Amino acid sequence: MSRDIEETPVGYPGFIVSGPARLSPTIGTLKRVALAKLSDVRFFSATFDGEELLFEPWLTTLIDYGASARFVGVYRTEPETDDEEEADAPAEDSKLGTLCLRQSEWVRDTDLAQSGGAEDLREYLTAGPQVDNTLVFGAGTAHPEIVDATRQLLSKLATGITIAASEPRSTAWHYVAVEVADNQFTTTISYSPLLAKCDVLETNLPSWLACVDDLVKRPGWIPGSEVTLSIRRSVPELLDAPYRGVTQVTR
């Protein structure tokens, strides 16, 4: 059908873009948004003693357990150095090697219960307590365990990473993704242990996770300002984009 130019909708040629559709608190919707919240955070920034520090990811991992998902990461202010002089410097005199330990978790049943009682699901998903976040800041010299554990895991991964097909198996991990941003190499690994296996990762990752689990229970530095996050995509954008009603127009 023909349309006058004035009536042509704004958007991609040949399409009408309507407002976002109504959301339903299904497991798929809740989990999709929660996984994005877990994995899309890229950087942290916070102020300590009047100095603003930017924390970049060093080693991060996202693990989907089916009924829950967890993101664990070690972030640092700048690449590590083996320079003995800087390594021996007191934490008070230098922020080099300052770390941020992050542990974030989503639990399906908790999310379902909370979203079911929300008056506005879109508002709940945008700002609601879907994900439980724990951040611990401190000097790398004060947390030698995680520095050593991270270096050891990276050393194992640097020897070679092989993801091989596997017969269907029972495993707690439904999906795992690991991102490395080290001085020596940068890589991303992702696969489903239900159908594949990566021996070097499955053998060595659990001890690193246990180390982070222990350290996040300990006190750390208190930021002098709110922690600012840098993310790939905002949650409102995430919510709107997949659910836009698009109707094709025949010209």
Write the pLDDT tens digit of every residue in 165-183: 988 888 999 999 999 998 8
Structure-token match 């994900």, residue found:
131
| pLDDT for 168 | 87
pLDDT score at 87: 45
Return the percentage of the chain with pLDDT > 90, whole number: 39
pLDDT at 163: 94
Single-letter amino acid, residue 100: C
Q: Kindly provide the b/e burial profile for residues 188-207, where b requires at least 16 CB atoms within 10 angstroms of the residue's own CB.
A: ebebebeeebbebbeebbee
Whether 85 has a pLDDT exceeding 70, the answer reads no
d(CA 129, CA 125): 8
Q: Residue ranges per domain, the chain?
A: 27-231
Pick left, alpha or beta for residue 179 (phi over 0 → left; psi -120 to 50 → alpha; otherwise beta): beta
- Calculate the average pLDDT of the chain: 80
Reported confidence tier of residue 239, pLDDT bands at 50, 70, 90: low
Rounded CA-CA distance 239/31 in Å is 12
Closest Cα to residue 32, out of 148, 143, 152, 115?
115
Give mean pLDDT, residues 186-210.
95
Q: Please tell me the pTM assigned to this model.
A: 0.78
Nearest-10 Cα torsion for 33, 201, 188, 79: 110
Tell whether the model's pLDDT for residue 125 goes beyond 60: yes
Model confidence at 235, pLDDT cuts 50, 70, 90, reads: low
pLDDT of the residue at 96: 43
For the residues of 36-105, what is the DSSP string, one character each? HHHH-EEEEEEEETTEEEEEEEEEEEEEE-SSEEEEEEEEESS-----HHHHTS-TTT--TTEEEEEEEE
Count Cα neighbours of 29 within 13 Å in the Cβ-side half-sphere: 19
Confidence band for 2, pLDDT divided at 50, 70 and 90: very low
- pLDDT for 143: 80
Q: What pLDDT, in 10s, does the model give residues 46-67?
A: 888 888 888 999 999 999 999 9
Close Cβ partners of 165 (under 8 Å, ≥ 6 residues apart): 195, 196
